[in-house]
Amino acid sequence: MDLDDQLRRYFATDDLASLSPAGLEAGIEKMRVDFGMEKDRPRRFALWTLLYMFGAAPDLDVAFKDEEDRESARNFMDMMDRAQDGSGD
């Protein structure tokens, strides 16, 4: 899944700075709908990570039935926290 492709798919642009608040919310809602309908585990996880980056991801116990997927999501969240804190370890 290519990030630019996903941004164009959900927001009709790969320049998020150009989006209005309403356009951003509409794109996030489209992602939520696709996430709820998605059956493919890797694609579902990728959609969840995008939603997480937008602050719109569902809770792990709601998003993932499989503990392995929940643990991967926790690892992703930890990695993002470290990246934001500037600590690369």
Measured CA angle at 47 (ends 62, 4), to 5 deg: 165
Using CB atoms within 10 Å of the CB of residue 48, give its burial: 0 to 12 exposed, 13 to 18 middle, 19+ buried: buried
Expressed as residue numbers, the domain containing 20 is: 3-85
Report the domain count for the chain.
Answer: 1
Per residue in 47-82, pLDDT tens?
A: 999 999 999 999 999 999 999 999 999 999 999 999
Give 14's DSSP letter.
S
* pTM score, whole prediction: 0.87
The pLDDT score that the predictor gives to residue 12 is: 93
At 25, the amino acid letter reads: E
Would you report the helix, strand and coil content of the chain in percent, each value rounded to 5? 75, 0, 25
